[in-house]
Structure 1
């Protein structure tokens, strides 16, 4: 919710509990008063439902626009806000340089200009009388601005990160359980230093179960130093920034989620799997997932695995329970809570704090790996590279894409993208190029063999024998898929095969129409959740990707053929 203060140039954004979440004073930008009022009203109306990070981005872009107006002396009043001014602003952005002396990237310039365009568009819709002139923005002002693919972490690196994370998670959980035993009894605890017991109980009383600031608790410094410092002692009471990155990285790799939405993972994110009693669903939000209807991000995990994400979430819930009691209302239901040493408040961890924590995690992990390699050189472990949170999602998608032998739909399902071209940008890179080249070559060889009536594989091998598969096309090499020597893992789900070829004739269209009708009939009869999990992808591929390719003149003949086809098995 956005509200006004006494000045129309000040914009307040409040959270669901009525607390002021963000405050922006556009009067400090130095723009003419009527332009400032116009932008403040648009900022207030357009950004009210956006995240705090997006609101800060909008304000930062407005500061850039104000710098342009002052340097170019371009705007005296709102009458100067014209299409010509937009062109001058675009040219001014082209001249800007960063701290390295290089010009801004095309994406940075496009995002900055897009903020002004969105605010002007909002004004056109809601208060057109404020704009005395027509204002047009260029379409795609910086073409070909797709950034270079982000670095991908290989399978070995991802496993090393997970191993290092699990080591710290076990250490954190053991400390927290020890702290729970200390607080449950006033006496000594077996295997625990009595001095540590007295220290943990004293700190818990002083901070109501949460580590207070150093000046807020009166304890002897020498024992604290001997125990590793206040941060180490605090880990006996609750989750600290020393261990939070390990939990975050493990969950981020397993879910392949975006870092910022995962940072705001809720405490009630788990739900039972509708079909498998051993699996648990984890849901998290994603502000950009969908325009009109937000799509939940969701993955299921087998609880029988000791380090599965649901077990990590359970540990986080227990370890952050003392922090949740002291968090503000808007953060109380979130999972990744931490107490700020600077602000002395409990809140969800910020992206900058998390990034710094991951750098320290890498340093600690490499210290342990160096010790391991000196002690056991025959079982060498690779040190962790310097990586960013943004690398994890694309790296996980690339691993799925590689393991499925180039099945982009499998990677799309993992990332929950509405458009497959978005998924392609995530997996783009040398490994994807290699798989695509091999897939194209294999598909071309199969097509030539099919057209020429010749098999490209030795007739002595059973793999060379064609076999009929769903929807009337033929598989020319059952044993030549992603598991050499064994039937292809996509057999029965051939719509996902990258080598799928369906002739554009009436007979095959008839089979496609029959399959679509069977799927739609099943949708009205069976459980909706089961249909969505098992049949929805096939229906989407048939109706959205295969059916539109058939020319319209084939439809009448196909429907005639369809009436004489054998009945398909009933879908359950």
Structure 2
């Protein structure tokens, strides 16, 4: 929500609680008053619903435009906002040196120019009288500006990242558990000496469960440093920036989600799987996913795995509970909270802070790997490369694409993309090119053999592969689904799978009855067309194909079991 300040050239954006989220003073740009007023009004109107990052990006682009106006002495008022000025601005952008001395990249120039065009277009629609002269922007001024694909991390590197993350997660959790035992008693605690216990209790008292500033602790800095200092001792009370990146990276690799939406993961993100009692679903929001109908970002995990994402989320909920109590009301329900050492406030970790934390995580992991390699050179571990959180999603997609022998639909399902050409950008690279070349060559060989009448040896039918399915039992043939010879693209989620086995007992009937009731409840609430498009087929299979196979004698026992089952998540 955008609000006016007492100065019309100051733009305020408020959050849903009425607090000022962002404040931008366009008077500092040094532009003429009428131009600053025009841009401020367009900024306020066009970006009222934009994310804080987008708003900051707009202001940075306006500062670049103001630099152009100052260096070129190009603007004295709104009368100078013309098509010719746009051309001069583009020529000025072309002359700007980049960090490598080769000039700005085409995407960088296109993004900066687009910000100005959006604001001018908004003014044309809502306040055309502010523009005395015509101003137009060229169509697609920077063609072929596809950015260089992000580096892809190999399967071995992804496993090394997870290994290093799990090491730090175990360390952080052990320290936090020790802290909880210290605060629960007044005596000595195993795993901590008496002085550490005394320090932890003191800083917990001074900061109401969260590490306070050094001035509020009665022990001096030198005294606290004998036990690692406040930064180390804070790990006994809550999650710290030292270990937050490890949790984030482990969740990011397992979910293959976008970094920024995952950073905003909520504390209530978990829900039970509707059909498998051993699985838990994790949901997160992605504002850019879907235009009119938002698509859920969801992944399910087997809780029987010790480091499955639901277990990590449970630990995060416990370790950030003291921080949530002191966070702003608009961030209290979020998961990746941290205590700022500069401001002392509890806030959601920013992407820049997270990026710096990942750099330090890599340094610590490589230091441990170096020690390991010196102690066990026969079992050498490769050090972690320099990477960013943005590399993980594309790397996971590439691994799925490679493992499925070039099945782009499987990668699309992992990334939850509406359009398959979006997925293609994620898997583009040398490995994808190799698979595509081999596929084309194989297809051409088959075509030539067919034309020439050559009969190749018949391919052997692959052996059946068992797999887990939604009801917690076995799929008789994972290769007998919708892609014969390849793993079924809907493994674990397809009621029509020919390998699905459902025991005829009361327990499984109870889960089926519960799922049918949830679908019927959704049918009463949702738009009929949407329910028919998404849920009608599953309902038909459950009620028409599966339910009639259960004997009537099991229904009474199954209904009694339904009341004891975990509540299913509400469909939309």
TM class by smaller structure: 0.7 to 0.9
* Aligned position for 2:507: none
1:420-431 counterparts in 2 under 5 A? 420-431=420-431
Q: CA deviation at 1:417?
A: 1.6
Partner-residue secondary structure (3-state), 1:494: coil
Q: CA deviation at 1:327?
A: 0.9
For 2:234 and 2:112, how far apart are their aligned partners in 1? 43
Partner-residue secondary structure (3-state), 1:300: strand
In structure 1, stretches of 5+ residues that fail to align are: 464-477, 482-486, 499-523, 540-569
* Aligned position for 2:349: 349
Q: CA deviation at 1:321?
A: 0.4
Q: Is the 8 A contact 1:407 1:497 kept in 2?
A: no
Q: Per the alignment, do residues 11 and 532 of structure 1 end up closer, same or farther by CA in structure 2, a change over 3 Å counting?
A: closer
Q: CA deviation at 1:274?
A: 2.4
The two structures, once aligned, show a CA RMSD in angstroms of: 2.9
* Aligned residue pair count: 494
* Aligned position for 1:494: 483
* Aligned position for 2:3: 3
For 1:313 and 1:426, how far apart are their aligned partners in 2? 27
* Aligned position for 1:68: 68
Q: CA deviation at 1:227?
A: 2.0
For 1:444-467, what per-residue CA distance to the aligned partner results, in whole angstroms no more than 9, with x for missing partners?
Answer: 2334445566543x14x545xxxx
Partner-residue secondary structure (3-state), 1:11: strand
Q: CA deviation at 1:337?
A: 0.7
For 1:160-184, what per-residue CA distance to the aligned partner results, in whole angstroms no more than 9, with x for missing partners?
Answer: 0100000100010011111101111
Q: Per the alignment, do residues 25 and 169 of structure 1 end up closer, same or farther by CA in structure 2, a change over 3 Å counting?
A: same
Q: Per the alignment, do residues 293 and 120 of structure 1 end up closer, same or farther by CA in structure 2, a change over 3 Å counting?
A: farther
Partner-residue secondary structure (3-state), 2:68: helix
For 1:275 and 1:334, how far apart are their aligned partners in 2? 27
* Aligned position for 1:312: 312
Partner-residue secondary structure (3-state), 1:12: strand
For 1:433 and 1:367, how far apart are their aligned partners in 2? 35
Q: Is the 8 A contact 2:62 2:116 kept in 1?
A: yes
* Aligned position for 1:297: 297
* Aligned position for 1:139: 139
User: Does residue 379 in structure 1 map to residue 368 in structure 2?
Assistant: no
In structure 2, stretches of 5+ residues that fail to align are: 466-475, 488-515, 524-528, 538-543, 547-572
Q: Per the alignment, do residues 58 and 382 of structure 1 end up closer, same or farther by CA in structure 2, a change over 3 Å counting?
A: same
Q: Is the 8 A contact 1:397 1:415 kept in 2?
A: yes
For 1:198-241, what per-residue CA distance to the aligned partner results, in whole angstroms no more than 9, with x for missing partners?
Answer: 11101100110001112221115455323222111110000011
* Aligned position for 2:205: 205
Q: CA deviation at 1:313?
A: 0.6
User: Does residue 167 in structure 1 map to residue 167 in structure 2?
Assistant: yes
Partner-residue secondary structure (3-state), 2:315: helix
For 1:36 and 1:180, how far apart are their aligned partners in 2? 55
For 1:476-502, what per-residue CA distance to the aligned partner results, in whole angstroms no more than 9, with x for missing partners?
Answer: xx78x9xxxxx996543139989xxxx
Q: Is the 8 A contact 1:81 1:135 kept in 2?
A: yes
For 1:314 and 1:404, how far apart are their aligned partners in 2? 32
1:248-397 counterparts in 2 under 5 A? 248-397=248-397
* Aligned position for 2:244: 244
1:534-545 counterparts in 2 under 5 A? none
1:378-527 counterparts in 2 under 5 A? 378-450=378-450, 454-456=454-456, 458-459=457-458, 462-463=460-461, 491-494=480-483, 527=519
Q: TM-score, normalised by structure 1?
A: 0.81
Q: CA deviation at 1:83?
A: 2.1
1:87-102 counterparts in 2 under 5 A? 87-102=87-102
Q: Per the alignment, do residues 455 and 121 of structure 1 end up closer, same or farther by CA in structure 2, a change over 3 Å counting?
A: farther
Q: TM-score, normalised by structure 2?
A: 0.81
User: Does residue 188 in structure 1 map to residue 177 in structure 2?
Assistant: no
Partner-residue secondary structure (3-state), 1:3: strand
Q: CA deviation at 1:281?
A: 1.5
Q: CA deviation at 1:366?
A: 1.1
Partner-residue secondary structure (3-state), 1:330: helix
